[in-house]
Amino acid sequence: MSQPVTNGRIYSRIAGTGSYLPDKVLTNDDLCRIVETSDEWIQTRTGIRERHMAAEGQTSGDLGYRAALRAMEAAGVTAADLDMIVVGTTTPDIVFPSTSCLIQARLGAEGCMAMDVNAACSGFIYALTVADKFIRSGDARTALVIGTETLTRITDWTDRTTCVLFGDGAGAVVLKADSQAGILSTHLHADGSKKELLWNPVGVSAGFKPHQTNNGSRILMKGGEVFKYAVKALDAVVDEALNANQLDKHDLDWLVPHQANLRIIEATAKRLDMSMDQVVVTVDRHGNTSSASVPMALDEAVRDGRIQRGQLLLLEAFGGGFTWGSVLIRY
Residue among 298, 281, 269 at smallest CA distance from 74:
298
Residue 225: other Cβ atoms inside 10 A: 13
Residue pair 168/24 in contact (Cβ under 8 Å)? The answer is no
Tally of residues, the chain: 331
- List Cα–Cα distances, 253 to 69, 158, 167, 242, 310, in angstroms: 28, 41, 28, 13, 10
Q: How many other β-carbons are positioned within 10 Å of the β-carbon of residue 25?
A: 14
Dihedral of the alpha carbons of 104, 66, 69, 173, in degrees to the nearest 10:
-90
Cα angle vertex 151, ends 118, 15, to 5°? 60
With vertex at residue 217, the alpha carbon angle to CA 226 and CA 171, rounded to the nearest 5 degrees, is 65
CA distance linking residue 296 with residue 160, whole number of Å: 25
Establish how many alpha carbons lie within 13 A of residue 327's alpha carbon, considering only the half-sphere containing its beta carbon: 28
Q: Give the Å distances, CA to CA, from 108 to 35, 83, 102.
A: 43, 12, 10
List active site positions.
121, 258, 288
How far, in Å, CA of 163 to CA of 91, rounded?
Answer: 16
Bridge partners (DSSP) of residue 88 are: 117, 147
